[in-house]
Structure 1
Amino acid sequence: MKPLRILVAMILFAGASLTARAMYLDAKANLAGVLIHRAWAKTAKTGAPQAPWPWADTHPVARLRIPRIGYDEIVLEGATPRTLAFGPARLFSGANLGEPGNVELAGHRTSWFRPLEALDAGDQIEVQWFDTRRHELRERTYTVNDIRIVSPEEVTSLAPRSDNALTLITCYPFGPSPRSPQRFLVLASPAGPSRSAETSRLANRAQL
């Protein structure tokens, strides 16, 4: 009986360890989310880049919203593997927020960009950022023109552009599948010029 008791104790200990680790990772992710939102709130007020924690090598640069599917996340700068663990991020190969060109945002298919599988052509995507030239928070609404599933080598959609555009990128298929041999692209164009976020907020309140 003694070997059996030892085996049972070892199984219970392993289970408790895995549960504790899962709880720790969940708490860590929740805390990171709170700190990232706080950093974005400061950036939205002052325009100065705010690291979410002292040793972070990234900072919030935008807020990404898709009203129809209830999506609302903070975008971080630099889509490195470390940064993508904490949220969607801007690819350095794309245009900067508020500048002419194709703004490229990436996110994991199992978390931050998993909701993109519910997108349809014609959906509205809202991007908010701080314009350092105008010293104000601005936003632009994009309309989804096309949704494509392509191979990793097919990068024509990510070529530099002179006109304004938005591309959302994630791996495919969605979910916990161990393999993701394809890429899911959401291609969108501006529904109009950028506008002051404060003006937009007041206009929305007036319509209520």
Structure 2
Amino acid sequence: MAFGLGLLIYSGWNIWSANQNQKESLAEAKELVNPESNKNNNQQEKMSAENFTANDGDVIGMLHLPAIDGELPIVEGTSEDDLEQGVGHYSSTVLPGQGNQILLSGHRDTVFQKVGELQLGDELIVDLPYGSYTYEIAETEIVDADDTTVIRDYPEEVLTLSTCYPFGFIGNAPERYIIYAYPK
């Protein structure tokens, strides 16, 4: 019983800690993309998709999922630490406004809990310090967990969301749920 209680306390602590990290990242993201609250308005006005840079672990923006009332911080990188803060931007892909694939990943049991409720035609909005970008979901697919073919060059800009699948699976999920959305 002691082991079970210890495991329960440990799990509860991890969930609470992840929620706190995400709340802090969301507050930082809101301040970052809100020009009125940004202390460096002149610097923000000069920022563009071409000169925006970020380091792993930096909060870089927000992802809005209006259909499911989602408002999520975007963090540069996809390490476990990065994904505890919010949705991770896969660093080898571009950012909105740069004309190729943008890959955002998140855990199915934290930030992407409701992503399975999104439907074709729903909007996804990415807010970054240099602008706001709206995408429309055009396609979804389920692939093996080790399938890296979803990361590729595109002739046009595409926002790709990735999370583990099946959604209710306990443990390491064997597949990934992929959403493709194009600029609206």
Query: Under a length normalisation based on structure 2, what TM-score does the superposition of the two structures give?
Result: 0.78
1:168 paired with 2:167, answer no
CA contact (8 A) 1:110 1:176 kept: no
Shift of 1:92: 1.4
Range that drifts further, 38-47 or 167-176 = 38-47
Whole-Å Cα distance in 2 between the matches of residues 126 and 60 of structure 1?
16
Identity in percent? 25
Aligned to 1:177: 170
Range that drifts further, 181-190 or 171-180 = 171-180
Match of 1:32 among 9, 21, 30: 21
Aligned to 2:32: 43
CA offsets 1:57-97 (integer angstroms, 9 cap, x no match): 51111211111111111111101122112221100121123
| Counterpart residue identity of residue 144, structure 2 | S
Cα pair distance change 1:129/1:20, threshold 3 Å: same
Which segments of 5 or more consecutive residues in structure 1 lack a partner in the other structure? Answer: 1-10, 132-137, 192-208
CA contact (8 A) 1:126 1:139 kept: yes
Aligned to 2:123: 124
CA offsets 1:128-164 (integer angstroms, 9 cap, x no match): 1012xxxxxx111101000111224544442112411
Cα pair distance change 1:33/1:156, threshold 3 Å: closer
Which segments of 5 or more consecutive residues in structure 2 lack a partner in the other structure? Answer: none
Report 1:54-69 matches (<5 A).
Answer: 58-69=57-68
Greater relative CO, 1 or 2 (CA 8 Å, sep 6+): 2
Cα pair distance change 1:16/1:80, threshold 3 Å: closer
Whole-Å Cα distance in 2 between the matches of residues 168 and 66 of structure 1?
11
CA offsets 1:105-140 (integer angstroms, 9 cap, x no match): 001122222211111111111111012xxxxxx111
Question: When you count helix as a share of all residues, which structure comes out higher?
Answer: 1
| Counterpart residue identity of residue 88, structure 2 | A
Give the structure with higher Rg (CA).
1
Query: Under a length normalisation based on structure 1, what TM-score does the superposition of the two structures give?
Result: 0.70
Whole-Å Cα distance in 2 between the matches of residues 179 and 190 of structure 1?
32
| Counterpart residue identity of residue 24, structure 2 | L
Q: Give secondary structure in 2 for the equivalent of 1:114.
A: coil
Count, aligned residues: 169
Q: Give secondary structure in 2 for the equivalent of 1:85.
A: helix
Cα pair distance change 1:157/1:16, threshold 3 Å: closer
CA contact (8 A) 2:61 2:128 kept: yes
Range that drifts further, 104-113 or 93-102 = 93-102
1:103 paired with 2:102, answer yes
Aligned to 1:87: 86
| Counterpart residue identity of residue 70, structure 2 | Y
